[in-house]
């Protein structure tokens, strides 16, 4: 009996360890091979679609850090995408088109906004936190629509992608694809290391029981603020990549609908699993691409599917995959 009790956690630990290695390895292997497959099959659109998936996966991973591990449900995270994108667009309009300047500015703008708003937002909890993040997101959305010199409601076209120290490294779609891939890999690796660190353990502990963590001496609000600021900065990176990918910025990038889509992505993939955030982004955007060819009102089809996943697939798509592999003995 005692042996069985102690064997079960060990087996579960081995299962999780294998999953933690296998799933991301498969994800990034597929992403690395996409350009070669697209070239072999003459389907260039695959590069564009996968690049878009990875850009939003960066934002989804960053959001999952605060939602899945910190318990802070932000409904205004698209504001950070918009800030990163507008940093690129405004600098380009002013004649500054180098990534060595635009990237730090994009991340800094998003980080600063996250810090200022986070101080206010973390004074609330639950539904109030959700609503105040939504309010800040809408505030920055309406600021963007009022920027008449930079396109206002119509958005702003960027003449060309940023250079890197004067070199047109982003000009080639394939080169830029691998820049996006490296950005996603770096974001994923950083967030995974952060979650496994002492900081991440405190963040997760605060999600489960903030009062207990405060009682044993941790400044819970400070840890949550740092997590929120880091998430905002990483989402700003997503905005930088999106602006360079589309060569266009728009207030629509920071609308509440976009924030809702990010939430859907992490729910679809599996909240609290960084791998799931990537899978959820891919599933959502592929479904959007496919269903929109069938009907203009594709959300009518997608909505019930999402409800079924939430009701019957605990842990999202990644949870389904793990249970399937467990039954097949893949991780036994």
* Of the listed ranges 45-49, 74-78, 226-230, 297-301, the one predicted with least confidence: 297-301
Residue 3 domain-assigned?
Answer: no
Per DSSP, 185 falls in state: H
Residue 4 domain-assigned?
Answer: no
Number of domains present in the structure of the chain: 1
Residue 321 domain-assigned?
Answer: yes
Question: 330 falls in which pLDDT band (50, 70, 90)?
Answer: low
Tell me the CATH number at 303: 1.10.3470
- CA quadruple 163, 158, 35, 83: dihedral positive or negative? positive
Residue 2 domain-assigned?
Answer: no
| Digit-coded pLDDT (tens) for 235-287 | 999 999 999 999 999 999 999 999 999 999 999 988 988 998 999 999 999 98
| Digit-coded pLDDT (tens) for 66-101 | 999 999 999 999 999 999 999 999 999 999 999 999
Residues contacting 22, CB < 8 A, separation 6+: 331
Look at residue 157 and give its three-state secondary structure. strand
pLDDT at 175 over 50: yes
Say what the pTM is.
Answer: 0.90
Per DSSP, 161 falls in state: P
pLDDT at 305 over 90: no
Bridge partners (DSSP) listed for residue 211: none
Which pLDDT belongs to residue 18? 63
Q: Using CA atoms, how far apart are residues 293 and 12, in angstroms rounded to an integer? A: 42
The domain containing residue 286 runs over which residues? 11-328
Q: Using CA atoms, how far apart are residues 44 and 21, in angstroms rounded to an integer? A: 30
Residue 288 domain-assigned?
Answer: yes
Residue 294 domain-assigned?
Answer: yes
Q: Using CA atoms, how far apart are residues 204 and 50, in angstroms rounded to an integer? A: 31
Q: Using CA atoms, how far apart are residues 73 and 219, in angstroms rounded to an integer? A: 20
The kind and range of the H/E element at 248 are strand 248-249
Average pLDDT on 190-208 reads 92
Residue 1 domain-assigned?
Answer: no
pLDDT at 15 over 60: no
Q: Using CA atoms, how far apart are residues 169 and 268, in angstroms rounded to an integer? A: 34
Which pLDDT belongs to residue 19? 63
Residue 6 domain-assigned?
Answer: no
For residues 279 and 27, the answer to whether their CB atoms sit within 8 Å is yes
Residue whose C-alpha is closest to residue 80's, from 118, 50, 51, 54: 118
């Amino acid at each position: 009996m005692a042996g069985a009790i102690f064997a079960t956690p060990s087996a579960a630990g081995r299962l999780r360890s294998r999953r933690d290695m296998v799933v991301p390895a498969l994800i990034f292997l597929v992403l690395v091979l996409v350009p070669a497959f697209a070239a072999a099959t003459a389907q260039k659109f695959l590069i564009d679609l996968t690049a878009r998936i990875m850009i939003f996966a960066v934002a989804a991973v960053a959001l999952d850090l605060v939602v899945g591990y910190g318990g802070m449900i932000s409904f205004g995270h698209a504001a950070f995408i918009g800030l990163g994108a507008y940093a690129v667009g405004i600098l380009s309009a002013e004649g500054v088109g180098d990534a060595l300047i635009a990237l730090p500015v994009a991340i800094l703008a998003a980080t600063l906004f996250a810090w200022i708003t986070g101080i206010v937002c973390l004074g609330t909890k639950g539904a109030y936190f959700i609503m105040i993040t939504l309010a800040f997101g809408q505030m920055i959305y309406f600021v963007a629509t009022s920027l008449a010199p930079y396109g206002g409601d119509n958005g702003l076209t960027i003449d060309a992608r940023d250079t890197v120290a004067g070199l047109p490294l982003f000009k080639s779609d394939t080169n830029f694809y691998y820049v996006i891939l490296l950005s996603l890999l770096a974001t994923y690796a950083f967030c995974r290391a952060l979650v496994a660190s002492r900081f991440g353990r405190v963040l997760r502990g605060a999600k489960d029981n903030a009062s207990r963590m405060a009682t044993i001496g941790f400044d819970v609000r400070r840890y949550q603020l740092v997590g929120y600021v880091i998430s905002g900065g990483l989402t700003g990176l997503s905005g930088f990549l999106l602006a360079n990918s589309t060569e266009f910025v728009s207030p629509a990038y920071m609308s509440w609908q976009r924030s809702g889509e990010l939430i859907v992505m992490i729910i679809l993939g599996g909240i609290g699993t960084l791998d799931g955030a990537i899978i959820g982004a891919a599933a959502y955007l592929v479904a959007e691409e496919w269903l929109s060819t069938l009907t203009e009102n594709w959300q009518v089809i997608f909505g019930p599917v999402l409800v079924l996943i939430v009701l019957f697939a605990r842990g999202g798509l990644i949870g389904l995959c793990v249970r399937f592999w467990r039954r097949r003995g893949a991780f036994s």
